Amino acid sequence: MGTFKFRILSLVLVLMSVFIPVGSAFAASTFDVTITATPTFISISNDTATWVMGAILEGTTYWWSSTGNAPAEPFVDGGMKSTITNGSSVPITLSIHAHDFTGGVGWALSNTTVGSNIVMLYAGNTSTVNAAGMKNLTDTWSQTMATGFSGATLKWCMKLATGTFTDGVGKSGTVTVTAAAT
């Protein structure tokens, strides 16, 4: 029986020498690669979604600010009306534009002057510094409100300058803020 065991052992050693080259070492036959990625996720919200003005007068300027009056200059967070919250995973650019007012004869938005059923609407934030630097909103194009914005919040306000009216029908307008990856 000892010879049989010797022959089996010899056969195993011969097979090993055929399939495993001399001087070879056993090594790992697999490895892992860890992949880390952050999706481009764009998310913004605004804490105040309406501006209820009630009855307004011709040729008057109205403020959507913390006090309802022109904020102190330079603009600071405490003078602004609303807060945009940034939940994005990447820096973003905020763009803003408005739409002409509807209701009755409606009001057109102008970037030059108020007039008969023509108003001017402006938006600003704490990086705007003052009223002169506010964005004049029209129905024609979007304007950049903030670029490379990666902060958690941005405070902002608006002002409306009225012209003259040809009817007393309630008006409604919309301001749209859009975020895109910078």
Which CATH number does the domain housing residue 100 bear?
A: 2.60.40
Residue 2 lies in a domain: no
Strand partners, 85: 45, 153
Residue 5 lies in a domain: no
Query: Band of the pLDDT at 23, cuts 50, 70, 90?
Result: low
Domain count, the chain: 1
C-alpha–C-alpha distance, residues 158 and 63, integer Å: 6
| % of residues, the chain, pLDDT over 90 | 80
The pLDDT of residue 28: 86
Query: Band of the pLDDT at 6, cuts 50, 70, 90?
Result: low
Smallest CA-to-CA distance from 151 within 81, 83, 96, 78 is with: 83
C-alpha–C-alpha distance, residues 33 and 45, integer Å: 37
Two tokens, residue 138: 């029209």
> Can you tell me which residue has the tokens 């913004």?
44
Smallest CA-to-CA distance from 174 within 109, 95, 100 is with: 100
C-alpha–C-alpha distance, residues 7 and 50, integer Å: 93
Q: Residues 54-80: pLDDT tens digits? A: 999 999 999 999 999 999 999 999 999
Residue 71 lies in a domain: yes
